[in-house]
Structure formats: C-alpha cells, structure tokens
Amino acid sequence: METAVAPLPSEKYASIVVDANTGRVLYESNSRDARYPASLTKMMTLYMLFEALDDGRMTGETAIPVSAYAAARPPSKIGFRAGQSIDARSAILALCVRSANDVAVAVAEHLGGTEERFAAMMTAKARELGMRSTTFRNASGLPDAGQQTTAHDMAILSMALRKRFPHHYHYFANREFAYAGKVIRGHNDLLGRVNGVDGLKTGYIRASGFNLATSVGRGGKRIVAVVMGGDSAAIRNAHMEELIETYLPRASIAGAAG
C-alpha cells in the first residue's frame, strides 16, 4: 500500500495536491472545508491585475495612486504615504514578493473604484473559475469573518493563474525585488530551496494559521499543492515539502498518452 502523508494536527488544517497536467487530485484533507485565505487572497488580486494588463486597461508603467486608506493598512506593506503612487509592474512584485497590503488596496481602488466593489468583482471571478466556496471581502486577506475559501478553491486559482497568464507567471518566482532604492525580500522560503518550485504565495493571519500555495515542476511532471492552517511557517514549509516529494513522482508527464 502506498504511504500517505499524515495531516497536520490542527483544527485549521486543510490541504490538497493536484496533478496540474490532468487536474487529478493526488491527495486531499479537509480540502472543501471553509478556511480563511489570508494573503492567498492576493492571488486573485493579481489575477484581476493581469487581466487588466492583457485587456489593455493598464500597462506595466501605469501609475496606481495610493489613498490614505490604502496607506493606513497594517503590514506587510511597502510603506507609502497618501498621495504617492506605484507603477503596475512594481505593484505586481510588491504583491508577489512582499505580500504588501497597502499595494493590494491601491490596486483594488484603481480597478474597482472601492475595495468593497473590487472584492465583489473578485468573488464574481472566483465563480467564473469554478471556485464555488470562496467569498472575498477585501483585496489583501486581512482579517474579515466573511472572507472564506477552501484549499480546493485555492488550487483552482493557482492552476488558473499559470494557465491563463503564462506570460506573467514568472513574477511568482521572484524572491526579492528592488524598489525606490531598497531591496525588498519575500516570505516564500521554498523558492530556491526546493527543486522545481516556481511560485505562488504565502499567507498568514491568526485566524487562518500559516498558508501556502505552491507550484512545482520536474521532468515534465507538475503539481499544485495548497497547505492551510500550519502552526508555524517552518511546520507549514516542511509539510509542503513532504507533500511535494511524496506526490510529484505520482503525477503524470505533460503530453504523455493515457
């Protein structure tokens, strides 16, 4: 009998591993139970931003203004003052690498007029993608009891980002970026440490525990894995690594028959 990875002993825990070439679920635990996305939310904020770029509503140089409300968001953040702005390309990096809450709100206000309206747009997009159990209330993932998702839905979003935006996907692999004369480093410790990992996103609020969505490919095999509710970043990362090493070998090879 094949060994399965033991779930983490936390009531907040949920996980899923999906063969990204076929959509087949290789492993899941509590994957359809309601959870808080925390900063995994920003994957949808980025999805909406990528769409705006591809639709021609924005370019990489578009200046996104930072309102007083956006500037006042708690960390993680870049630290803008009200009235400053950030170019769209830097905004993407700030979301992918730094998980910047001030930038998430600035993007939301730029694309939706208000963060509330943008959250409704995010939820509508989630339904369009087949994420039936996700409701967004903000663009950042900051605590809101009404903002809920599942590991299953976050896997759908992770795969949609790569499939729909292969030309933007490289942003998720950045471990740091330079902005305004500073080097800003990220939170995703699996990048550059675990062979084949090329993105996506970390997340944490107290209510969610430590979350992580990961895409990894080796030798034509590719999986997307989501872990939610780790008790620490180290525990979450170790569990994710165990899922990768156990289930990536069981994934299909792209283009293989059968």
67 is catalytic: no
CB 185 within 8 A of CB 142: no
> Which letter, b or e, does each residue of 136-170 get, where b requires 16 or more Cβ atoms within 10 Å of its Cβ?
bbbbbbbebeebbbbbbbbbbbbbbbbeebeebbe
- Determine which one of 29, 31, 90, 99 is catalytic: 99
- Binding-site residues for substrate, please? 201
Q: Dump the DSSP string for 144-186.
A: -TT-BB-HHHHHHHHHHHHHH-TTTGGGGG-SEEEETTEEEE-
> Of these residues, 12, 29, 42, 140, which one is catalytic?
42
Calpha distance 167→200 (Å, rounded): 15
Q: Distance from CA of residue 122 to its chain's centroid?
A: 13
What tokens does 252 get? 């299909």
Give alpha helix (H) positions in the chain.
42-54, 68-71, 88-93, 101-112, 115-129, 151-164, 233-247
Single out the catalytic residue among 15, 29, 31, 39: 39
158 is catalytic: no
Provide the annotated binding site: 201
| 39 has catalytic annotation | yes
Which residues belong to the active site? 39, 42, 99
